[in-house]
Structure 1
Amino acid sequence: MRRGGGLALGLLCWLVAEVASYTPWDFSWGARGDPSAWSWGAESHSRAVPGSQPVTVQCQEAQLVVTVHRDLFGTGRLINAADLTLGPAACKHSSLNAAHNTVTFAAGLHECGSVVQVTPDALIYRTLINYDPSPASNPLIIRTNPAVIPIECHYPRRENVSSNAIRPTWAPFSSTLSAEERLVFSLRLMNEDWSAERPFTGFQLGDILNIQAEVSTESHVPLRLFVDSCVAALSPDGDSSPHYSIIDFNGCLVDGRLDDTSSAFITPRPQEDMLRFRIDVFRFAGDTRNLIYITCHLKVTPADQAPDPQNKACSFNKARNTWVPVEGTRDICSCCETGNCEPPALSRRLNPLERWPGRRFRRDAPEGKEIEADVVIGPVLLSADPGAIGEQREGGDGAAVAVTGAGMGLVCVAVAVALAGVAVAVGITRRGCARGSAGA
């Protein structure tokens, strides 16, 4: 019995040694565990994504086509097609393929509440796929969580895709300098050191949004950019309810006035036609999608015009308990406290987005007046855990990007528990092997 027991113990020790020498990170998880399998980029104006992917995107000349596999989470359990919608406008699917268990959405680039962002090199159209599961047969239990999958289509600005594609953020510049001048306003979400753009996904409460406002012109007319107002909402329509004012009163960063925030403009400016500000991440109470859109009204004045109460960038300094401008004298910020920064003729208090009703920017402005435009940034997606939403990967010109990370949290927990069990078993068995060797 002693010889048989020693043989069994030796065999067990050999197995433990093999397990201990095996690298646990070599497991092949497939699409459900590999984050890169959930995100992709496509070059040129459309590219089919491999069939193993849960979401495919085609960026066509005037529309985008999104195909969603009903086995969205890779569990083998098919979701209800009616629970999927496209964009903040919640557009329904265009077709359903029962043979392949896929749901297809086809919508114009400007439809379903999509947002366009203009960068120096590209037009970026952003929207999202919403999965909002219907209640189970038993209303007391929930079997599936909602999900949001961001979608992007990139188009090079050198190729004018359509006459409508550049309208939302372009405005004419009327002045004595150039009657043909064109301005393009943009908002960009930047990384921590402001060196590059960062993804719109994966933010948590306590994080910071670094937002960079810019205006570019075809020539070199010296201009100074201001952010007149910014409103956060659950859709690109800043007038929707609920909404929250971040910047108001012609350039007062009112969000920084609250005790629990550090929101402020960044001083000094990098350049006259650029303005940076940071805001603390927040979400709307009761919003299960955990996303926000930010609509900002941008405007420019001649660079040699001194800032005034209607054209300013003011932050609240908690240490000094006073408002401080990015440039100009401090008295231009005094109206931030009273909430009335309009000139006497416009002293009536208005909602930030009601000052320019019925149009996105004011055309044919008189000489000497600022030129302005509304620009939307988003959707900014929040996640309960780091990486729960996934990482956004931007492709080249005309690229399509879709991201999700559903199920990754459970996979990580399972891996941690399994590795802990292996470590305990290895430790116990090694002690047994040591005793056996000593007894021999």
Structure 2
Amino acid sequence: MGPVLCLVIFGLAVTITNAVDFSVECGEDAVTVSWPMGLQRQQDIDPSHVLLGYCTPTSASVKPGGAQAVFQFKDWRCGAEMMALKEQLVWSTDLMYVPDPGTDEFFLKRVVCVYQRADGWTPRTFRPVMETFGTGELVFSMSLMNDDFSGPALTSVYQLGGFIPISASVDQQAHQPLLLFLEECVASTEAQLGPDAQTYPFINNKGCFVDSRKTMSSFQPRQRGSEIRLYLQAFAFALGKEVYIHCKLVAWDENGLNAGKKACHDKNGSWELLDDPAQSSLCNCCDYGGDSGCNSRKRRALGGNGMTREAVIGPLVIEREGLRSL
């Protein structure tokens, strides 16, 4: 992985945030959070109570000039979400302060670290993105969410048979209205897919949620076209091990539904098109693969109509209740 290109911190909820001037340094192996101690109330912040994702500091110190918390951030990334772009790998997670009981000095900030993407790195299940199209810059994201999708997940450990809420979105900004689809998704024990990676496909064939045919997994009604939500029922794959979710995200013309651009899931034993059940015949190809699979016969030029991105989130862990694999 190459050097850090940039770092962005967004304040989300504050009690003492305005009184604290944080600086964050993204390194190859660690993230360092620092702040001065001279301003009012900043001296009350205990660096050992600062969390990055679900990581506690590997070291914390207070000096006359300021305080510092260091987090090891190399392999499992403290539960951070990762998105792979053409030339960059983007890691994002929450920086949170959890005070002692009885105090209200709580804050939550979003931390984003952007690294150069190493030559040759690509999830090989998917074709690499070669070009960017659109009238405005599109920003893709995919996240593990809490049960009602009101915020990020509070845990990365799920019980077998429980539900894993996942949200993917595209910020279309000045671009024409777009629908977001998940064209392909697999679970893997590897953060970077290779030819020998162990995988569990749950969306394939251009947006067919195949796992919904045998479990209670399903897409959820859209809140807006640029976001897609799903409940993935936790499956018996790599129990107790770290699992990564790899997806190919596609943003597409909202009027361009076809067999190759769709979101289909099982509804009472039949395929249903998420965005227009009256057109559920577009999902008929979900039961077939190969040359008979869901390849749209009506090709649209991508210019102005859509683009794809690959995203990876994790790790998460699926456990059988009462049993954890070592």
TM-score tier, shorter chain, comes to 0.5 to 0.7
- Going by fraction, where is helix more abundant, 1 or 2? 1
**1:293 is the counterpart of 2:281:** no
Aligned to 1:252: 208
> What is the identity, as a one-letter code, of the residue corresponding to 2:311?
V
Query: Match for residue 373 of structure 1?
Result: 309
Within the alignment, does 1:207 sit opposite 2:156 as a pair? Answer: no
Q: Amino acid of the residue matched to residue 313 of structure 2? A: I
**By how many angstroms is 1:193 displaced?**
1.4
Q: How many percent of aligned residue pairs carry the same amino acid?
A: 25
1:252 counterpart letter in structure 2: C
User: Residue 420 of structure 1 aligns with which residue?
Assistant: none
**8 A Cα contact 2:208 2:265, kept in partner:** yes
Unaligned runs of 5+ in 1: 1-41, 68-85, 89-108, 127-153, 347-364, 390-440
Choose from 272, 293, 299 the match for 1:324: 272
Query: What is the aligned-residue RMSD (CA, Å)?
Result: 4.1
* 2:315 is the alignment partner of 1:382: no
Deviation track 1:108-130 (CA, whole Å, cap 9, x = no partner) reads: x8xxxx86259xxx95169xxxx
Residue of structure 2 equivalent to 1:174? 133
Is the Cα–Cα contact under 8 Å of residues 116 and 125 in structure 1 kept in the other structure? no
Match of 1:309 in 2: 259
Query: Where does residue 124 of structure 1 map in the other structure?
Result: 92
Shift of 1:274: 0.5
> What are the superposed Cα offsets for residues 66-119 of structure 1, whole Å, 9 maximum, x if unpaired?
39xxxxxxxxxxxxxxxxxx526xxxxxxxxxxxxxxxxxxxx8xxxx86259x
Residues 281 and 187 of structure 1: CA distance in aligned 2, closer, same or farther (over 3 Å):
same
Contact 1:174 1:367 in 2 (8 A): yes
Deviation at residue 324 of structure 1 after TM alignment: 0.2
Residue of structure 2 aligned with 1:284, choices 237, 255, 264 = 237
- Aligned amino acid, residue 265 of structure 2: S
> What is the CA distance between 1:254 and its match in structure 2?
0.4
Closer, same or farther in 2 for the Cα pair 1:155/1:263, shift >3 Å?
closer
Letter in 1 for 2:264: C
Q: Which has the higher contact order (CA 8 A, sep 6+)?
A: 1
Q: Deviations over 1:396-436 (max 9, x none)?
A: xxxxxxxxxxxxxxxxxxxxxxxxxxxxxxxxxxxxxxxxx
- CA shift at 1:385, angstroms? 5.2
1:276 partner letter = R
- Give the structure 2 partner of residue 264 of structure 1: 218
Q: How does 1:16-31 map to 2 (within 5 A)?
A: none
Q: Which runs of 5 or more structure 2 residues have no equivalent in the other structure?
A: 1-20, 25-31, 35-46, 61-69, 85-89, 95-108, 123-127
Which has the greater radius of gyration?
1
State how far apart, in whole Å, the 1-side matches of 2:173 and 2:132 are. 11
> Residue 425 of structure 1 corresponds to which residue in structure 2?
none
Q: Cα offset for 1:301?
A: 1.1
Residues 150-200 of structure 1: per-residue CA shift (max 9 Å, x gap) = xxxx8646xxx65738x999996424xx2xx21111111111111111134
Query: Would the alpha carbon gap of residues 156 and 202 (structure 1) be closer, same or farther in structure 2, given more than 3 Å must change?
Result: closer
Q: Is the CA contact 1:283–1:291 (under 8 Å) kept in the aligned structure 2?
A: no
* 1:194 aligned to which of 136, 149, 152: 149
Determine helix, strand or coil for the equivalent of 2:158: coil
Alpha-carbon displacement from aligned partner over 1:5-48 (angstroms, at most 9, x marks no partner): xxxxxxxxxxxxxxxxxxxxxxxxxxxxxxxxxxxxx9541248
Mapping of 1:41-440 within 5 angstroms?
Answer: 44-45=23-24, 46-47=32-33, 50=48, 56-57=57-58, 66=72, 87=75, 116-117=82-83, 123-124=91-92, 156=111, 164=116, 173-175=132-134, 178=135, 181-239=136-194, 240-258=196-214, 261-267=215-221, 269-285=222-238, 289-303=240-254, 305-317=255-267, 319=268, 321-328=269-276, 329-339=279-289, 340-343=293-296, 366-383=302-319
Count of residue correspondences = 237
2:256 and 2:93 map into 1 onto residues whose CA distance is 36
Contact map agreement 2:172 2:178 (CA 8 A) in 1: no
Within 2, Cα distance between the matches of 1:218 and 1:254? 32
Instruction: Considering fraction of residues, name the structure with more strand.
Output: 2
Q: Secondary structure at the match of 1:382?
A: strand
Structure 2 vs 1, CA of residues 206 and 182 (structure 1 numbering), >3 Å: closer, same or farther? same
Partner amino acid for 1:326?
L
Kindly indicate whether the alpha-carbon contact (under 8 Å) linking 1:170 and 1:184 is maintained by their aligned counterparts in 2: no
Q: Secondary structure at the match of 2:168?
A: strand
> In structure 2, the residue corresponding to 1:332 is in which secondary structure?
helix
Does structure 1 conserve the Cα–Cα contact (< 8 Å) formed by 2:56 and 2:71? no
Cα deviation 1:204-239 (Å, max 9, x = unaligned): 112101111100133253111111010110012244
Q: Is the 8 A contact 1:116 1:123 kept in 2?
A: yes
Q: How many angstroms does 1:370 deviate by?
A: 2.3
How far residue 284 of structure 1 moved from its aligned partner, in angstroms, is 2.3
CA contact (8 A) 1:324 1:330 kept: yes
